[in-house]
Amino acid sequence: MSVVDPAPRVLKVSRGTSDKVFRGVILAGALFSLIVLALISGFLLYRGFEVFKDFGFSFFTSTKWDAASEDGLIPASYGVAAMLVGSMVIAAIAVFVAVPFAMSVALFLEYYAPQRIKSVLVSILDLIASIPSVIWGIWGYTILMPHAAGWSKSLNHWLGWFPLFKVPAPIFERSPFIAGLLLAMMILPIITSVAREVYSQAPRDQIDAAYGLGASKWGTMRAVVLPFGRGGLVGGTMLGLGRALGETVAVYLVLNLVFKINFQILASVGGNVASLIAGRFGEATPYELKALMAAGLVLFVLTLFVNFIATAIVARSAKGPQ
């Protein structure tokens, strides 16, 4: 019994000239983002190269940000260590505060809210996501800061023995804690929308099976929905982290720019790379401008890295856990 498989017919598409041109033009347009990304890193490196060359690795480890003295005896000294640590501290506070709330908002919208008002609430969430950072900044500066300073005071009063909550002087305005709280509110919508998306995709049959076995609502959430959405939540959190690392104006308005590595989150000392650029840009000397370009490159690479990881995690968890 020998059946000879007929060779599969090879499908060949021959495109006309107009289609070839069309596809070429569209591809060229689509690769524009590649050009922009390459140009950003290329130009910031080119402009900041002198600074990287002058300071070498100490650009990353030094906390000094001093211009050369008038008489030129003391040379300029630039390093982003303090601002880099500041960026991470603020972003960490923001994520730490935002994630539990984002989870509860996502669960509430998908499983607890009355279905009639759900779509209204989702629209409101989308609108909140589009509030510009300068408006969060002005609100944070005038409304949030007086309140948050009060909370900081009680935190320091009751938990002051904990190193994180110590302060060198009883001034509680413009601290990393307040900047982190404000950022938490700003990144909450993006974390929530990713979390909501993955929670809503939890398999219906497993949810019904859990209910069928007599699980309570919370039991079902814990056994089915939360494990299913874990990957997506991590990805959404990383997206929020990327946003928090690059935030400029809101942080600039509620944080004191001080060039010092500071882990006392209630103290009025801090800064991040983005607000450093915005704050120093106006009166920068040509050489300091180069240092700012170098700092911009560091920020660009950092956020790009965080976003790559986030995108990869979200893309993988969108298919569901294996």
* 185 binding other proteins? (CB under 8 A): yes
Q: Cα–Cα distances in Å, from 57 out to 51, 173, 291?
A: 10, 33, 13
Backbone phi and psi for residue 316, each to the nearest 5 degrees, phi listed first:
-70, -40
Which token pair is 173? 């305005």
Residues 193-212 binding other proteins (CB under 8 A) are none
Q: Which is nearer to other proteins, 266 or 292 (CB)?
A: 292
Instruction: Give least dist CB 153 to other proteins, A.
Output: 11
The size of the interface with other proteins (CB under 8 A), counted in residues, is: 85
Residues 280-299 binding other proteins (CB under 8 A) are 281, 292-293, 296, 299
The overall longest dimension of the chain from CA atoms, in Å, is 98
Residues 142-161 binding other proteins (CB under 8 A) are 142-144, 147, 154
Instruction: Please report where in the chains the tokens 């990353």 appear, as a residue.
Output: 60
* 53 binding other proteins? (CB under 8 A): no
Residues 109-138 binding other proteins (CB under 8 A) are 109, 112-113, 123-124, 126-128, 130-138
Q: Cα–Cα distances in Å, from 155 out to 144, 148, 183, 188?
A: 16, 10, 19, 23
Instruction: Give least dist CB 15 to other proteins, A.
Output: 7
Q: Which is nearer to other proteins, 269 or 293 (CB)?
A: 293
Site string for other proteins, 1-20 (x = CB under 8 A): --------------xx-xx-
* 247 binding other proteins? (CB under 8 A): yes
Instruction: Give least dist CB 67 to other proteins, A.
Output: 19
Residues 256-285 binding other proteins (CB under 8 A) are 274, 277-278, 281
Q: Which is nearer to other proteins, 182 or 264 (CB)?
A: 182
Q: What does DSSP assign to residue 266?
A: T
Bridge partners of 65, per DSSP, are 78
* 221 binding other proteins? (CB under 8 A): yes
Query: Residue 67's CB: how many other CB atoms inside 10 A?
Result: 17
* 49 binding other proteins? (CB under 8 A): no
Q: Any long-range contacts for 72-81 (C-beta under 8 Å, 24+ apart)?
A: 76/287, 76/288, 76/291, 78/51, 78/288, 78/291, 78/294, 79/55, 80/273, 80/276, 80/294, 80/295, 80/298, 81/261
